[in-house]
Homo-oligomer: A and B are copies of this chain.
């Protein structure tokens, strides 16, 4: 079986590492010569919209998938007319525009924060009358890790917030005073089989995910499964998807979804019977999905900007290190570590050690 991947970063790398044992060969298309997955398969080196390379990728692959959602619509459609593509161009289109995404959530019964589209400072000012303070202005497209976002607390913040959008279409969305942030990772096969992972409880700092903890038997699991099922079935989705949610009291409100494997599911490599990476491959290849039950008590810590000494990270008991083969750079995700503990108490203790280590090398 041959799987093509748009992108050869750490997500593609972890997909490939999960795929080798299943006998899968990989073809990556990535403009970066030193992309960190490129030693794990054939690397087609060039732009994502190069028609000759895309045709070659399609020709070489039984199925094509991707590690990021900002694939141009043209590219997704071109690939889909030449080979099997999962998730579908339609799922991509919904995920890559915050306005379309939020309207879609609401249309299938998934609640969101109040939001309004804006295309000028004037529209922003008027929208604030119904949205309420504080709020967040977000570009409709190309946002990740908190990029393309501006927090507005008072009317004085509006001009600067609008300016930071540099004229692109945006939305303004009510800030949700959440109790916690969670995400649910789920996989769906083209035949409609669905597998849900236990909720991930997520901690962000500066818009970047720092820690994800697996929450087995969480009281919000059923509500999250209901919402993600609506999404997966509504989009007739195949592959792994991550739905990010805010919890406010006993209620979940959707933030956004990623039509791909997700950082908040990295703990599944050691911490679930089958990892999100393997289940993504099983799903897009129409293989039976693997069990998602947690193994021990797992959590994950991201290393941002800097790397710990390998020996120091490995000396943390129950830590499993995953370096991405990327050069450290300010704000860049360069590695993560999973803790798979034997008890909640042990998890807390080891997580503290690992977080301290991550904070020490974090330059963001």
* A residues adjacent to B (C-beta < 8 A): 13, 17, 20-23, 25, 39-41, 273-274, 282, 287-288, 290-291, 295-296, 310-311, 314-315, 317-318, 320-323, 325, 340
Q: How many whole Å from A331's CB to the nearest CB in chain B?
A: 20
Docked complex Cα distance between A39 and B43 (Å):
11
Q: Contact: A21 with B287, CB < 8 Å?
A: no
Q: Contact: B314 with A21, CB < 8 Å?
A: no
Q: Contact: B291 with A318, CB < 8 Å?
A: yes
CB-CB < 8 A to A325: which residues of B?
A: 20, 23
- Closest B-chain residue to A13, C-beta based? B20
Q: Contact: B320 with A21, CB < 8 Å?
A: yes
CB-CB < 8 A to A20: which residues of B?
A: 13, 17, 40, 325
CB-CB < 8 A to A322: which residues of B?
A: 21
Docked complex Cα distance between A363 and B323 (Å):
41
Q: How many whole Å from A238's CB to the nearest CB in chain B?
A: 15
Docked complex Cα distance between A340 and B274 (Å):
11
Q: Contact: A17 with B23, CB < 8 Å?
A: no
Given the interface pairs A40-B40, A273-B340, A317-B291, the reply to whether A310 lies near B13 with Cβ below 8 Å is: no
Q: Contact: A323 with B288, CB < 8 Å?
A: no
- Which are the 5 A-B pairs with shortest beta-carbon distances? A23-B323, A21-B322, A288-B315, A288-B314, A287-B311
Q: Contact: A323 with B21, CB < 8 Å?
A: yes
Q: Contact: A321 with B22, CB < 8 Å?
A: yes
CB-CB < 8 A to A317: which residues of B?
A: 291
Docked complex Cα distance between A321 and B278 (Å):
11
CB-CB < 8 A to A17: which residues of B?
A: 17, 20-21
- Closest B-chain residue to A286, C-beta based? B311
- Closest B-chain residue to A24, C-beta based? B323
Q: Contact: A273 with B21, CB < 8 Å?
A: no
CB-CB < 8 A to A315: which residues of B?
A: 288
Q: Contact: A310 with B295, CB < 8 Å?
A: no
Q: How many whole Å from A279's CB to the nearest CB in chain B?
A: 10
A-B contact pairs, 17 of them (CB 8 A): A13-B20, A17-B17, A17-B21, A21-B320, A21-B321, A21-B323, A22-B310, A23-B310, A23-B323, A39-B40, A39-B41, A273-B318, A274-B320, A282-B314, A287-B311, A288-B311, A295-B295
